[in-house]
Amino acid sequence: MKTVGLSAADAGAENRVGASVSDPEGLTRYEIRLGDGLAWLAARAANSVHAIVTDPPYGLKEYTEAEKRKLRRGRGGVWRIPPTLDGCRRSPLPRFTVLNAEDRGALIGFFEAFARAALPVVVPGGHVFIATNPLLSHLVYGALVEAGFEKRGEIIRLVQTLRGGDRPKNAHLEFVGVSVMPRSGWEPWGLFRKPCEGRVQDNLRKWKTGGLRRISSTEPFGDVIRSAPTGAAERRLAPHPSLKPQAFMRRIVHAALPLGEGIVLDPFMGAGSTIAACAALGYRAIGIELDPAYFAMAHGAIDALAHLRT
Ligand SMILES: C[S@@+](CC[C@H](N)C(=O)[O-])C[C@H]1O[C@@H](n2cnc3c(N)ncnc32)[C@H](O)[C@@H]1O
């Protein structure tokens, strides 16, 4: 059952609109809210989320109203709109190399605020999976460690992106043998954990967290995952510029709850690929999105994404 609407309890300026989907027994499977993920975390009860799986905005710049207007007009700004290649329309990419020192300071401040707000909400032993990129990951990781999360590794999503590989701009004929930066073939996801209470086994018993769910009894979760770019069928359902593919999201979301019990949060859910992956796996989930158009997209797309075969 799917319900959308305003309730008296939600009458504040933030998180006013929500939708929740229940299973046949009436248990809420997922809940999505229009609002600020940081404000939601600040208001949330302590120790009430078992994992965070998120792909946050970077530099905050690419999702400002001004930059989104430029993206939607198809020109200018931090979004690089690649030309149509071989009849294939490529997705726009944010150009992180245009961030200046002030932007980077704002980005560190944003991730510090996120990490400080997230730490009390996550249960002991709960993991955070956070998408990043090779140019900025150190800033994000530093903020999480500073707040008290333990770094537990990094997941390498092996995917061919359009980032890098280009010859020097306006001098490509002069420097035919030079790339300004490597052509990127991977996307890092930072993996963090709130410290456990006691041993992992004690924490697993008490909080249902502390480890990662294995793929099977003979195969542990691994940190290098081959992944195709998000396919056309998914992009048609949810045309968000940063939509992550279900095949990859289901792999990492599956690992996030070691016993398959608990709640997964995505405080920057975009069009809801994390929430759809949770729905596909039968995990409970909460998603928050600031932009009304992306929230509406998620609301319309999550069930369909969850039903896609990967
Ligand atoms: C990189 S995208 C996430 C895309 C998502 N992984 C998907 O597959 O659709 C980040 C999202 O965070 C949203 N956002 C930015 N600031 C936010 C905030 N303070 N609270 C909640 N959402 C925010 C943006 O509007 C954007 O949709």
Sign of CA dihedral 204, 210, 213, 218: negative
Write out the H or E segment, with its range, that includes residue 209: none
Q: Closest ligand 1 atom, CA of 40?
A: 20
Would you state the pLDDT for residue 11? 33
Domain of 103 in residue numbering reads as 2-307
* Nearest CA residue ID for atom 6, ligand 1: 55
Residue 4 pLDDT > 70: no
CA–centroid distance, 25 to ligand 1, in Å, is 31
- 3-state helix, strand and coil shares in percent for the chain, rounded to the nearest 5: 35, 25, 45
Task: Look at the chain and report how many structural domains it folds into.
Answer: 1
Q: DSSP for 72-98? A: HHTSSTTEE-PPPBTTBPPPPEE-GGG
Tell me how far the alpha carbon of residue 131 lies from the centroid of ligand 1, in angstroms. 12
- Ligand 1 centre distance from Cα of residue 247 (Å): 20
Q: Please compute the mean of the pLDDT values over residues 43-68 and round it to a whole number.
A: 84
- d(CA 141, CA 153) in angstroms, rounded, equals 10
Q: Kind and range of the H or E element at 228?
A: none
Instruction: Please state, in angstroms and rounded to a whole number, the distance separating the CA atoms of residues 83 and 74.
Output: 11
Ligand 1: residue whose CA is nearest its atom 4: 270
- Mean pLDDT, residues 139-156: 98
Give the model's confidence band at 32: pLDDT under 50 very low, under 70 low, under 90 confident, else very high. very high
State the pLDDT at residue 35: 97
Q: What is the mean pLDDT of residues 54-74?
A: 72
**Do 289 and 300 touch, CB atoms closer than 8 A?**
no
- Residues within a 6 A CB radius of ligand 1: 36-38, 55-57, 63, 240, 242-244, 267-268, 270-271, 273, 288-291, 294
Query: Residue 33 forms beta bridges with which residues?
Result: 18, 288
Question: Range with the lowest mean pLDDT among 31-35, 126-130, 181-185, 294-298?
Answer: 181-185
| Partners of 17 in beta bridges | 34
More confident residue, 1 or 45: 45
Task: Outline where DSSP puts E strands in the chain.
Answer: 2-5, 17-22, 28-34, 49-54, 79-80, 93-94, 122-131, 150-158, 186-193, 224-226, 263-266, 284-289
Task: Give the residue, by CA position, lying nearest to ligand 1 atom 8.
Answer: 243
Mean of per-residue pLDDT scores for the chain: 88
Read off the CATH number of the domain in which 125 is found.
3.40.50.150
Q: What is the pLDDT of residues 13-29, one digit of tens each?
A: 445 578 888 877 777 79
Confidence (pLDDT) at 264: 98
Residue 176, token pair as written in the block: 């035919």
* CB-neighbour burial class of residue 157 (10 A; exposed 0-12, middle 13-18, buried 19+): buried
CA–centroid distance, residue 267 to ligand 1 (Å):
8
Is the confidence at residue 92, as pLDDT, over 60? no
Among 74-78, 198-202, 252-256, the minimum mean pLDDT is found in 74-78
Q: How far is the CA of 156 from the centre of ligand 1 (A)?
A: 21
For position 90, what pLDDT does the model report? 45
Distance, CA of 297 to CA of 289 (rounded, Å): 10
Tokens of 44: 């949330």
pLDDT confidence of 91, banded at 50, 70, 90?
A: low
Q: Which of 32, 63, 111, 299 to mutate to test the pocket of ligand 1 (most atoms within 8 A of CB)?
A: 63
